[in-house]
Amino acid sequence: MSTTDDLIKAVRSGQLDAVRAALAAGAPVELADGHGVPGLPLGIACFLGHLDIVRELVRHGARVNLADNREPVSPLSMAIRGGKSEVVRLLVELGATVPPGMQTGLGAHELVAAQWIARRAAAGAVGDPEIEEIVMPRAFGTDTTVLEADAARAAIEAETQKKKR
């Protein structure tokens, strides 16, 4: 069997070690599908929901974006069609561009948080962000829905302002 066949078989069966072995043996990470579009291994991993394999393929150079991520064979579209919202989130965190109006299966705040992680990684941020801990011993049972909605709205407004610049 060829390294290409080994890679596809390993991706389909979700065997991370076999994926690593096939890549180490020289299997192309941007293997083209039957229509000549590169990225078949990543597309399969996204559709099937193999998070670790998605990370490994991207680490080896697989592209998370096509010219148009609305294309049915884009990694983002494959994850959405497979109903794998955790893979959608990971792809966005890895830099996938979500076309305007595309339904990803993520909530607005989840999408903004994933985009924030991608921007932070692109800027070369290292380590966890500094987070202030607020201790409120007498606030047990307080409804935080309004606070969460305000935070999500503020993040969306910040994104809108950034796009206008």
Bridge partners of residue 38, in order along the sequence:
32
Which residue in the block uniquely carries the two structure tokens 């393929």?
57
Where do the structural domains in the chain lie, given as residue ranges?
3-130
Q: Determine contact, residues 70/101, Cβ cutoff 8 Å.
A: no
pLDDT in tens, 43-101: 999 999 999 999 999 999 999 999 999 999 999 999 999 999 999 999 999 999 999 99
Start-to-end C-alpha separation, the chain = 53
50 and 20 Cβ atoms separated by less than 8 Å: no
Q: What are phi and psi of 87, to 5 degrees?
A: -75, -40
> What percent of the chain shows pLDDT beyond 90?
61
E strand spans, 25-142? none
CATH architecture of the domain 3-130 equals Alpha Horseshoe (1.25)
DSSP state of 106: S
Q: What is the pTM of this model?
A: 0.75
What's the pLDDT tens digit per position in 126-158?
A: 666 666 666 666 666 666 777 777 788 888 888
